[in-house]
Amino acid sequence: MSQASSEHSGVAANLVSGVADQVDRGARRLAEGDLERALDDVKRVARNRPEQLVDERIQPQLDQAAGQVGTMAQETAEAVKPAVQDAVAEVKDNAEQAVAEVKDSAASSAADVADEAKGTVAEVRS
């Protein structure tokens, strides 16, 4: 177990050392006034960093974690599906009720307007 631990420590030390060297080079370039080269170094470090940090020993753990996250997301989606369906049904029912009320109100208003028009026509004729 201590051998595995020391192997991981060695890998971590190498990674930190490599990043420290790159940062040191970038700092020197900035101090020398070569901003463009320093920015190029920063871009290169950003591009290469995932390859430096992820090696074949931790990739299975990352894959397993990604699988667990995917499973949890699917389970969560399945768990909330009934609540979402209920909410959609309630919104649909409320919308249908509102449409019916608007139709009734419009019909009533149209009948009132028609009655007024008939009354106005009767007054004009008399």
Provide the pLDDT for residue 6.
Answer: 53
Binning pLDDT at 50, 70 and 90, where does residue 99 land?
very high
DSSP 84: H
Are residues 24 and 40 in contact, defined by beta-carbon separation less than 8 angstroms?
A: no
Mean pLDDT of 19-48: 70
DSSP 54: -
Are residues 41 and 29 in contact, defined by beta-carbon separation less than 8 angstroms?
A: yes
Provide the pLDDT for residue 1.
Answer: 45
DSSP string, 31-69: HTT-HHHHHHHHHHHHHHHHHHH--TTTHHHHHHHHHHH
Q: What is the pLDDT of residues 36-80, one digit of tens each?
A: 776 776 677 667 765 554 566 677 777 788 888 888 888 888 888
d(CA 28, CA 38): 9
Give the residue with greater pLDDT, 91 vs 32.
Answer: 91
Residue ranges per structural domain of the chain: 1-57
Provide the pLDDT for residue 24.
Answer: 73
Binning pLDDT at 50, 70 and 90, where does residue 112 land?
confident
Query: Residue 93: what residue type?
Result: D
d(CA 48, CA 43): 9
Provide the pLDDT for residue 101.
Answer: 92
- Quick one: how far is CA 124 from the chain centroid? 67
Q: How many CB atoms lie under 10 A from the CB of residue 29?
A: 18
Provide the pLDDT for residue 38.
Answer: 67
Share of the chain above pLDDT 70, in %: 71
Q: What is the mean pLDDT of the chain?
A: 77
Mean pLDDT of 84-103: 92
d(CA 61, CA 27): 34
